[in-house]
Structure 1
Amino acid sequence: MKAKLFFSLLLSLYIIGVNAQRILNGQIEIKDLNIARNEGNLFLSMRMDVTALDVKSDEEIILTPALKSSEETFVNLPAVRINGRNRYYHHLRNDKLADEPYFYRTGKVDEIHYQAMTPYAEWMDNASVVMGEDLCGCCSELLMNNDDLLTQLDMAPKVFEPLFVYVQPEVETVKTRNVKGSAFIDFPVNQTVIYPEYRNNPSELKKIQQTIDVVKNDPDTKITAISIKGYASPEGSYANNTRLAKGRTEALKKYVQELYHFDPSIFTTAYEPEDWEGLERYVEASDLADKEGILDLIAGDEEPDRKDASIKRRYPDTYAFLLKNCYPALRHSDYTVEYIVRSYTDVEEAKRIMKTAPGKLSLQEFYTIANTYESGTPAYNEVFETAVRMYPDDETANLNAANVAMNKRDLTAARKYLDKAGTSKEAEYARGVLEALEGNYAEAQPHLQKAKEMGVTEANDCLKQIEEITK
């Protein structure tokens, strides 16, 4: 029995040791009190020095170790009975108490080696370990009843609980934004004049108008620049394509300027005589039979007219397919509308904007909104999650979003955000926190130590937690 119990103790997951202490008005010394548990059982062992115990001949001391969390929740372990001479022989003659494992006569034992086991329950992690002390006289009259606290358990698994360090973004003095689009304006062959009703032009010109109108009609924004770049497709001569790309770009600029009467100074234009990059992207993504040969020609050193002729000569069927299905899309006009957005100093107004047009907010404004909520609440988290959607490549936005994800224990998302969070001291700290949350304590410590050296004070507490967990 003792060998099996000792073996169980060696296999236990959690062990607590308590130094010597005295009970029963100092008459008994408890030594080497150890409490341990594995997944299924809790074990208690101790030595009880009873050399100073004084029990009268007709009396009996009953010592009952117990685990308690409240008056209603407790477990009594096997009792230790120490009897005076007459009481001892009374039990021998009249009952079976002598068969109990801890049944003694005073003066005949100096030290009791006690071991007990009970099924483990979760409430025991924080239970009190007490020693019930009952003194019984003749006819089992209760002369004394007392409980001594031996120790308070704290056996719940140590959990890594970090503080998350959010970073305040820099103030965006001028909130510059832009919106981009691409239009496919149809022109009669070799012409550079826009006919608004020609073929698909009504819908393509409407796309440009809608892009501009969304910004122009917003009282919170002001258009500061419009850029247009026109492209032609590679068929035909490079010289003529240059004329067409340049002329058609100027025609679109004139159309927009006359439609809105913008100051001419806000316009910038550029042109690309032949959109070879667009052709390369199309072929690369295709499953054309002549794909590799065409890509080699596109990447070659031939001048544009010879390159187009080579593709047509070597792969006539594929060229015909490209001419019909790809080249029309290479004749396009890309445009960018740049504008500035006013600042929102009223946080309640900023909250409304976040719900309807979050792209108009700066990261600093998102941060201000977040600070009106309690950290870790759904509303708080939503602010930083929205911010990173608006600024997917910003290091600060990604770092703060990683903190939200870690707080929610979405560690996969946190790692994705941290990949774009930069190399700041706070990012270094966050990477250490993530490793620790994943249980990778050895990998966490270098990050946290570096963050501590860089000035992140919270890293010191994390390192202490890891030391406590892993010791």
Structure 2
Amino acid sequence: MKKLLLLGTAALAALVCQAADIDILDGSAKVSNLNIERSESSLIIDMAIDVTDLRLKSEREVTLTPVLKHNDMSQALPSVIIAGRNRYIRNRRHDVDKTAALYRSGKTSVIPYHAIIPYEDWMMTAELSIGEDLCGCAGTKLMTGADMLTTLDYTPKVFEPEYVYITPVAEAVKIREIHGSAYIDFPVSKTQIFPDYRRNPEELAKIRATIDVVKNDPDTRIVELNIKGYASPEGSYELNEQLAKGRTETLARYVQNLYTLPSDLMKTSWDAEDWAGLIKYVRGSSIENKDAILAVISNETLAPDAREWKLKSTYPDQYRFLLSQVYPSLRHSDYSVRYTVRTYTEVSEIIEVMHTAPQKLSLSELFLVAQSLQPGTPEYNKVFDIAVLMFPADETANLNAAVNALRHGDLDKAEAYLLKAGKSPQADYTRGIIAAKRDDYRTASTLLDAAAGSGLPQAAKALDSLRDMKLIP
């Protein structure tokens, strides 16, 4: 997964800043304005050492040495020496420590400290303290100690937003539908079904199989059977309407005679001529005079019989092709079985159904499974893939699938799901996170601000994180 890191750049970045004063030397001095900056290769330490209240006898001196330490690694920084009158004069005369800055006690109030050292990885979380050595005559050590100043933290700042899923609303009643089309062969101008005629055995078997898969399932109950019949456009519209109506009603009686179902479950309708199907075929074909033919068959200002006559008389060759190759497919019966599915509450049972008949599950049931799994695992990811497959137009399913894709770093897949995720605060938030991960911080700020304004707390946290990383103002 791509992570946003705030690392050192060529420009200096102030990463540690100590505002409060720190007492040292048992309160006789203090450190203020501590500021530590880091570039890619250097560490810059600045502070002010206030020694106004420090009084030393003439032969004494104090050496202050900032030290960085982490585990068994340490780095001493240049020292500062504050000396009494005689000691100061002697040190100046003999250059006792050329690397240390020398100051005379009583003559200096605030010592500006500045040091630059090479940055090393172990310093990332090192402690900065200040060592204190008080010496008397002849260099005798009178006191040794140290005071903690601060702990560095150069750990790369990682933008790790929360992943916000939406809990789907449970369906009060789970209603599902299975759809199909059958191409029943009827003798010319007849409405009687002959089960063994031409391809009827296979087509009738399709209808029975669709009904049986629902009727024989103890978890489902059929609530509606719908059959809609279509005739093709050849011949008179009046005759075609009679044929479409009669053949539809005949097929409905055939189904009713096979199953013991309440009569009010059967719904029938018909369309005398399937012009929509003809238009769909021609539009997708490479037939000669395609655009002109489309203009004729799409012209609803003409009566159906007039349209057919114009097509037949103007484009006879194409008409003969359509009559023999396309019109038979326009004589069909579309059917659907509408049914309810019982609610599942046990995770183990939902998982079993998910692998065998996922269409029977609701989004809330699938989400219940996801909550029982470890995020990021293949099983967890599969739940969201199944959810969006079963509910391809559902905003919640698409949003959750987008969030899950984002979680394992597939930004392109997440953006594709978000196209169907609507405009909820959670959707804006997810789009904002993707924008941030693509380094488009202006868009990210706009989207996250909108989500935060809608009351989404995770959006406000993400904005604060981006501001802390100096990625947005």
| TM bucket normalised to smaller | 0.7 to 0.9
Q: Residue 61 of structure 1 corresponds to which residue in structure 2?
A: 63
Alpha-carbon deviation of 1:103?
Answer: 4.7
Higher mean C-alpha deviation, range 252-261 or range 439-448: 439-448
SS of residue matched to 1:11: coil
Aligned partners of 2:442, 2:379: CA distance in 1, in Å? Answer: 34
SS of residue matched to 2:257: helix
Change (3 A) 1:74 1:245: farther
Matches within 5 A, 1:336-347: 336-347=336-347
SS of residue matched to 1:392: coil
SS of residue matched to 1:289: coil
Aligned partners of 2:117, 2:325: CA distance in 1, in Å? Answer: 79
| 1:72 aligned onto 2:66 | no
Question: TM (normalized to structure 1)?
Answer: 0.82
Deviation string 1:161-199 (CA, Å, 9 cap, x unpaired) is: 444443333332221111111122233333333333333
Change (3 A) 1:351 1:58: same
Q: Residue 280 of structure 2 corresponds to which residue in structure 1?
A: 281
Letter in 2 for 1:173: A
Aligned partners of 1:333, 1:127: CA distance in 2, in Å? Answer: 78
| 1:32 aligned onto 2:19 | no
Alpha-carbon deviation of 1:351?
Answer: 2.5
SS of residue matched to 2:251: helix
Aligned partners of 1:238, 1:284: CA distance in 2, in Å? Answer: 23
Deviation string 1:308-359 (CA, Å, 9 cap, x unpaired) is: 2222332233333323332222222111011111111323222322232222
Q: Residue 173 of structure 2 corresponds to which residue in structure 1?
A: 174
Q: Residue 197 of structure 2 corresponds to which residue in structure 1?
A: 198
Aligned length: 457
Q: Residue 335 of structure 1 corresponds to which residue in structure 2?
A: 335
Letter in 1 for 2:33: D
Aligned partners of 2:286, 2:144: CA distance in 1, in Å? Answer: 90
SS of residue matched to 1:182: strand
| 1:208 aligned onto 2:207 | yes
Aligned partners of 2:121, 2:289: CA distance in 1, in Å? Answer: 69
Aligned partners of 2:176, 2:39: CA distance in 1, in Å? Answer: 60
Deviation string 1:262-320 (CA, Å, 9 cap, x unpaired) is: 33332111111211111111111222331111111112122222212222332233333
Q: Residue 5 of structure 1 corresponds to which residue in structure 2?
A: none
Matches within 5 A, 1:15-164: 15-19=15-19, 20-50=21-51, 52=54, 54=56, 57=59, 61=63, 63-66=65-68, 68=69, 70-80=70-80, 84=87, 88=91, 92=95, 98=98, 100=99, 102-104=100-102, 106=104, 110=108, 112-121=111-120, 124-134=123-133, 145-156=144-155, 158-164=157-163
Higher mean C-alpha deviation, range 33-42 or range 280-289: 33-42
Change (3 A) 1:145 1:389: farther
Alignment check: 8 A CA contact 1:253 1:267 kept: yes
Q: Which consecutive unaligned segments of at least 5 residues does structure 2 have?
A: 1-7
Higher mean C-alpha deviation, range 112-121 or range 194-203: 112-121
Matches within 5 A, 1:429-468: 429-436=429-436, 438-445=438-445, 447-452=447-452, 454-468=454-468
Alignment check: 8 A CA contact 2:66 2:79 kept: yes
Aligned partners of 2:231, 2:260: CA distance in 1, in Å? Answer: 27
Change (3 A) 1:36 1:310: same
Alpha-carbon deviation of 1:459?
Answer: 4.3
Alignment check: 8 A CA contact 1:60 1:87 kept: no
Higher mean C-alpha deviation, range 262-271 or range 112-121: 112-121
Alignment check: 8 A CA contact 1:373 1:380 kept: yes
Letter in 2 for 1:236: G
Change (3 A) 1:9 1:284: closer
Q: Residue 228 of structure 1 corresponds to which residue in structure 2?
A: 227
Letter in 2 for 1:29: K
Q: Which consecutive unaligned segments of at least 5 residues does structure 1 have?
A: 1-7
Letter in 2 for 1:368: L
Aligned partners of 2:232, 2:107: CA distance in 1, in Å? Answer: 106
Aligned partners of 1:136, 1:201: CA distance in 2, in Å? Answer: 111
Indicate the percent of aligned positions where both proteins have the same amino acid: 44
Alpha-carbon deviation of 1:45?
Answer: 2.5
